[in-house]
C-alpha cells in the first residue's frame, strides 16, 4: 500500500489548510524526546476532531487516552472559554508530559489530565454523576474499547458524539477469525454500536501518515 503517497497528501493537506501551530509541533517534539510512541492522531485528523467539536458546539469533552496531549490540544482549542476537557491516562509519565504540553498551548486551565486505568476513572465518574459530555474520543488500549463504550454511554445524553480511533486496523477488522486481540476488541466495539438502540453509527476508513485505519462515529439518540 502506498503509505508514502498517503503521507505526501497529508503533508499537502496540512500545509494548505492547517495553520502552523508551534505549540502542537512542540507537543509532538517533547513527546518524541521523552520516548513516547509516535501514535498521536495526524494533523488533519486532529483538525477533524477540532471541527467535529465545533460543529457539535461541545462545551464538555472527554478523551480516553492522552499520550502527550496532541489530540487534547486540538480538542481544547475547539472549546468555548468556559468549556472543559477531561482526558484519561494510565501512565503518569505521559500525563506529566501532556500537562506541560497543554500548559505551553495555553489550555491547561480548561483541561484536566486524570491519571489511572480508564475503566476505573470512568466508573468513578459514573458513580459521582459527572457528565454528560457532548463529545467523547476513545483512543486508549483497544482491548478496553467495549468497556469504554458501555461507560461512555452512561456519561452521554441524546446528542452526544462518541468517536473511536483505530477501528479498521489495516483492514484486519473484516476478519472474524483474526487472532489479534486488538482486532477482536474493535470488532466487538463495532458490533456493540450496531446492536445498541441508543446510537446510530458508521465507520469511516482513513489513509494518511498513520497508515490505513478508521474512525467509528456514533451519535447518541436516546
Ligand atoms: N489521543 C492521543 C493518543 C493516545 S495513545 C493523541 O492522539 O494524541 C493511547 C494512550 O492510551 C497512551 O498514552 C496509553 O498510555 C494510554 N492507555 C493505555 N491503556 C490505558 C488504560 N487502560 N487507561 C488509560 N489510558 C490508557
Ligand atoms: C497505536 C495506538 C493508537 O491509538 C494509534 O492511533 C496507533 C497505534 C498502538 O498502540 O500501536
Ligand atoms: Mg489512536
The closest ligand to the CA of 67 turns out to be: 1
Q: With a cut of 90, say whether residue 24 has pLDDT above it.
A: yes
* Shortest-distance Cα residue to atom 11 of ligand 2: 39
State how far the Cα of 174 lies from the Cα of 11, in Å rounded to an integer: 29
CA 39 / ligand 2 centre spacing (Å) = 5
Whether the CA torsion 153, 156, 162, 164 is positive or negative: it is: negative
* Contact assessment for residue 134 and residue 59, using Cβ atoms and an 8 Å cutoff: yes
**pTM score:** 0.98
* Contact assessment for residue 82 and residue 108, using Cβ atoms and an 8 Å cutoff: no
pLDDT in tens, 72-129: 999 999 999 999 999 999 999 999 999 999 999 999 999 999 999 999 999 999 999 9
pLDDT in tens, 140-178: 999 999 999 999 999 999 999 999 999 999 999 999 999
Q: With a cut of 70, say whether residue 1 has pLDDT above it.
A: no
7 closest CA partner among 52, 44, 38, 40: 44
Instruction: Report DSSP state, residue 192.
Output: H
Give the three-state DSSP class for 85.
strand
The closest ligand to the CA of 137 turns out to be: 1
List of domains in the chain: 2-220 (3.40.50.150)
Mutating to test ligand 1, I would choose from 86, 141, 146 the residue with most ligand atoms within 8 A of its C-beta, which is 141
pLDDT in tens, 29-63: 999 999 999 999 999 999 999 999 999 999 999 99
Residues framing ligand 1 (Cβ under 6 A): 39-41, 65-67, 70-71, 88-91, 94, 117-118, 139-141, 144
Ligand 2 atom, smallest distance to 41 CA: 6
C-alpha atoms less than 13 angstroms from C-alpha of 197 in its C-beta half-sphere: 0
pLDDT at position 126: 98
CA 38 / ligand 2 centre spacing (Å) = 8
Q: With a cut of 90, say whether residue 138 has pLDDT above it.
A: yes
CA 200 / ligand 2 centre spacing (Å) = 25
Q: Which three cell numbers stand for residue 119?
A: 475503566
CA 67 / ligand 3 centre spacing (Å) = 10
Amino acid at each position: 500500500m502506498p503509505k508514502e503517497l498517503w503521507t505526501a497528501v497529508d503533508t499537502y493537506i496540512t500545509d494548505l489548510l492547517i495553520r502552523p501551530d508551534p505549540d502542537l509541533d512542540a507537543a509532538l517534539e517533547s513527546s518524541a524526546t521523552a520516548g513516547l510512541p509516535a501514535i498521536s492522531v495526524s494533523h488533519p485528523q486532529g483538525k477533524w476532531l477540532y471541527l467535529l467539536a465545533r460543529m457539535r458546539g461541545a462545551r464538555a469533552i472527554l478523551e480516553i487516552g492522552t499520550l502527550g496531549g496532541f489530540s487534547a490540544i486540538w480538542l481544547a482549542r475547539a472549546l468555548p472559554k468556559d468549556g472543559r476537557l477531561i482526558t484519561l491516562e494510565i501512565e503518569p509519565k505521559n500525563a506529566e508530559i501532556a500537562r506541560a504540553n497543554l500548559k505551553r498551548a495555553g489550555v491547561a486551565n480548561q483541561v484536566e489530565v486524570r491519571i489511572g486505568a480508564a475503566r476505573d476513572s470512568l466508573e468513578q465518574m459514573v458513580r459521582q454523576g459527572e457528565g454528560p459530555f457532548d463529545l467523547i474520543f476513545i483512543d486508549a488500549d483497544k482491548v478496553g474499547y467495549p468497556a469504554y463504550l458501555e461507560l461512555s454511554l452512561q456519561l452521554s445524553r441524546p446528542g452526544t458524539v462518541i468517536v473511536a480511533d483505530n477501528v479498521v486496523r489495516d483492514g484486519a477488522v473484516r476478519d472474524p477469525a483474526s487472532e489479534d486481540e486488538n482486532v477482536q476488541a474493535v470488532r466487538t466495539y463495532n458490533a456493540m454500536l450496531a446492536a445498541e438502540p441508543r446510537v446510530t453509527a458508521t465507520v469511516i476508513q482513513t489513509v494518511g501518515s498513520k497508515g490505513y485505519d478508521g474512525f467509528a462515529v456514533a451519535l447518541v439518540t436516546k
